[in-house]
Chains A and B, each alone.
Chain A
């Protein structure tokens, strides 16, 4: 069976800057894959290419057996790609439930059913008690969860999480980790970008490390963290020698 997501030789140039060069990765059905790497490694760019914010300069992106390289974000969502944003983008003047209804409407045309669906997703994400609050009134960790809820309401096959665990307190991060596990248990494939290794490594099945726009290594988290190249990319050469 073909992987759910595959990028084939993807390049992205911004003027003279090469953000992604010849990136080929694949994500299998039901996996939780971590996309990690130091600042400026090209994680967010690759993420945006997969979500359809912009088309790659070169290369192609396959999703669920179909070439989606040229499809805009809204159509990728229709095909089953859900995403969150690194800087949260809630609909601030709308209530929490209304935020999620926007996502639910893509699969349900009847308002009553979309509302019901949105409420179920909020319960799943532990936000049901906040349903009638304005999104603007949520605390940051709740806003992160709202982003996940909104994306889940679109019933994605692949959920793209952009640093949803970064900047949270250890307790909040742990709740987040559990939520991601729960999401996978429902059959959704997860690709998550994270900067902080210690949070994601226990969670993911496989890690892909990007550095300077290229895939540096990929493999089991336990192998990846011991890889000298990864350590040197994160901490500099001196530490790699010590390891």
Chain B
């Protein structure tokens, strides 16, 4: 019984390794820059959604305000680089740390709220942050920040000609987010979070300090999302409040996890692989005027999935739960 469990975990690890190798080798065959761009975004959203899943999926604290941490990561990196010449690699870590601290400060206030009230609080806080950044002159206000390009460099993490470095970074980030989840799943925290999600009162009676568990989940989740935001700032090399802190980012982090299977190891990645290319393709094929069509497409997809497979797409792979059922 114990070995069966260990086997399943090892198999997950091997599958992930295979998928990572395939993704890493894909650019050898896919030379089209447009497709490579979609791959970068898919990997980035897989990482973001995986990180969102830690707080909202495992710990059950649904956040629709994670755009805040994404934006904080992007702004911290961009500001430190343009104002103080700090390399993006350090900016990334700083952004992650700042986001984790802010997530805990906000959690301190909001984790007393349960259910819908918590969700509403996360949306409102992210919107307030968006407004603050739109009016903060030093940070470029609504005009945003242009990250100057000074030639391709790993040190400054900017590349004008090739998408490949970004692709490999996004892949690494997705792998890290997956590995962190994989590791946490079979740790004290992983068990505590799922207990808190299912029944906080029972969890408390078994010695789980519910409040601290939520704080831990929020910090890890925000840290990883902020790294994603830092990456995005370098990737697009121009940021403004709406383009890194808008509500759509909160949605795009939540939807892949919901589609693939919320609170599952594979759900976010699976959801991102389906959702992000679909979004990008509908957006470009329906043309500039079809700004809402991509939203309609994945709105319909989410409705269909939640009706047919309420536990997400991963539930199709019943062999995974086969032993448990």
Contact = CB atoms under 8 A, between A and B. Distances in A.
Interface of A: 51, 53, 72-74, 77-78, 82-83, 85, 89-95, 97-98, 101-103, 105-106, 109, 111-112, 115-116, 119, 131-134, 150-151, 153-154
Contacts of A153: 206
Interface stretch (B103-111, B165-173, B185-193): B185-193
Contacts of B207: 74, 77-78, 103, 105-106, 154
Contacts of A83: 205
A132 B8 CA distance: 13
Interface of B: 1-2, 4-5, 186-188, 191-192, 194-195, 197-199, 201-210, 263, 323-325
B195 A91 contact: yes
Given A85-B201, A111-B187, A98 B194 contact: yes
A105 B194 CA distance: 13
A209 B279 CA distance: 66
A189 to B, nearest CB: 17
Contacts of A74: 204-205, 207-210
B256 to A, nearest CB: 20
Contacts of A134: 324-325
B207 to A, nearest CB: 4
Most buried by A among B204, B263, B323: B204
A103 B323 CA distance: 23
B267 to A, nearest CB: 13
Contacts of A77: 204-207
Given A116-B2, A132-B324, A134-B324, A51 B191 contact: no
A89 B199 contact: yes
7 contacts: A73-B205, A77-B207, A78-B207, A89-B202, A97-B1, A153-B206, A154-B206
Nearest to B201: A89
The 7 A-B pairs of least Cβ separation, nearest first, read A106-B207, A89-B202, A77-B207, A91-B198, A103-B206, A73-B204, A102-B195
A91 B323 contact: no
Nearest to A135: B198
A90 B194 CA distance: 12
Nearest to A133: B324
Given A93-B194, A98-B191, A106 B206 contact: yes
A115 B2 contact: yes
A109 B188 CA distance: 7
A91 B201 CA distance: 11
B201 to A, nearest CB: 6
B323 A132 contact: yes
Contacts of A73: 204-205
Given A85-B202, A91-B195, 13 more contacts: A51-B205, A73-B205, A74-B207, A82-B205, A90-B199, A94-B195, A101-B191, A105-B191, A105-B192, A111-B187, A131-B1, A133-B325, A154-B207
A88 B187 CA distance: 25
Contacts of B195: 91, 94, 102
B206 A151 contact: yes
Contacts of B323: 132
A102 B191 contact: yes
Contacts of B206: 77, 102-103, 106, 150-151, 153-154
Nearest to B206: A103
B191 A93 contact: no
Contacts of B202: 85, 89-91, 150
Contacts of B192: 102, 105
A105 B213 CA distance: 14
B1 A93 contact: no
A158 to B, nearest CB: 13
Nearest to B60: A93
A94 B203 CA distance: 13
